[in-house]
Amino acid sequence: MPNRLSALLPPEPLALDERYRQAQRIAVQAAQLGLDYYRQRASLEVSHKAGVGQDVVSIADRELETFIKQQLSEHFPQDGFVGEETGASDLQARCIWVVDPIDGTSCFVNGLHTWCVSIGLLVDGEPWLGAVADANHDELFHACRGHGAFVNQTRIEVNPATDLTQGLTGVGTSHRRGKEHFLPFLNRLLDEGGMFIRNGSGALMIAYVAAGRLLGYYETHINSWDCLAGLVLVREAGGHCSDFLRDDGLTDGNPLLVAAPQLYPALAQLIGPSLSA
């Protein structure tokens, strides 16, 4: 094993290579199951989650999370789990899986291709590996700490741009932290000559930052299952991430900024104090 990776390994040996392999496999299989549901979306029963604005859930979300959870439990029964649909369990475990079975459900049920499966792993409280599977475009974004980041088998890096005018910045918002935090950032970004995109899936847009397709991504409040895998992707691709896990971010969520390192300070300045509030 390379010395750089050995220096990063936890103090006690864990089957991290196997966890990485299984995360990729399960993410791809779950995304394919999701694609089957997606092609039959007109017949899906869809409901709105109480008190969370535009968040919706379908039987596909529940079935995919059940599949992912069963697969992980079969291979790693001692691990903890945090899922969007089934909640948290065994958070005292050294390894905790953090899963969004379908990130971008509103896009999913409305026939837009911007949804994905996101599986991340915390080891001793640190984001360690992640897999984001996009079945519509046959892409698997994946990374393990110390190994680099990839889309399928191609290594990826963050965008080399030096100015916010040289690309697009991804954005997202939530009704839990309203437009008072979102609109000022958009105004400042536009004033700087930048431009933004919102595609409905935070996990995908974070992966796009890692792949150099976006300069950065800012969301006023995001949950851990939407971004844990992406944190590993961005860091392994050479990017910077805000301190998402602070103040119970794993269970309560937080604001998030990820970006190419040379552009992170400029974006953080446009966001202002709300990034760390």
246 and 225 within one domain: yes
| pLDDT tens profile 201-210 | 999 999 999 9
- How many structural domains is the chain composed of? 2
Q: How many whole angstroms separate alpha carbon 275 and alpha carbon 254?
A: 9
pTM of the model: 0.91
Q: What is the CATH number of the domain that holds 101?
A: 3.30.540.10
pLDDT at residue 151 greater than cutoff 50:
yes
Out of 95, 125, 155, a domain closes at 155
The predicted pLDDT at position 10 comes to 52
Q: How many whole angstroms separate alpha carbon 67 and alpha carbon 83?
A: 12
271 and 183 within one domain: yes
The predicted pLDDT at position 2 comes to 41
139 is in an annotated binding site: no
219 is in an annotated binding site: no
125 and 9 within one domain: yes
Question: Which domain covers residue 197, as residue numbers?
Answer: 164-275
129 and 22 within one domain: yes
Out of 111, 132, 155, a domain closes at 155
The predicted pLDDT at position 54 comes to 47
The predicted pLDDT at position 171 comes to 97
Q: Look at 2-11, 131-140, 169-178 and tell me which has the smallest mean pLDDT.
A: 2-11
Instruction: Categorize the per-residue pLDDT at 143 as very low, low, confident or very high, splitting at 50, 70 and 90.
Output: very high
| pLDDT tens profile 29-58 | 999 999 999 999 888 777 665 444 445 678
Please give the helix or strand (H or E) that residue 219 lies within, else none: strand 216-222
243 is in an annotated binding site: no
The predicted pLDDT at position 12 comes to 54
134 is in an annotated binding site: no
Helix (H, G, I), strand (E, B) or coil at 261: coil
Instruction: Categorize the per-residue pLDDT at 175 as very low, low, confident or very high, splitting at 50, 70 and 90.
Output: confident
197 and 149 within one domain: no
Out of 110, 129, 155, a domain closes at 155
139 and 35 within one domain: yes
The predicted pLDDT at position 194 comes to 97
102 is in an annotated binding site: yes
49 and 105 within one domain: yes
- DSSP 8-state secondary structure symbol assigned to residue 82: E
| pLDDT tens profile 96-109 | 999 999 999 999 99
**Residue 61 in contact with residue 117, Cβ under 8 Å?**
no
146 and 36 within one domain: yes
177 and 142 within one domain: no
**Residue 133 in contact with residue 116, Cβ under 8 Å?**
yes
Q: Look at 161-165, 167-171, 172-176, 249-253 and tell me which has the smallest mean pLDDT.
A: 172-176
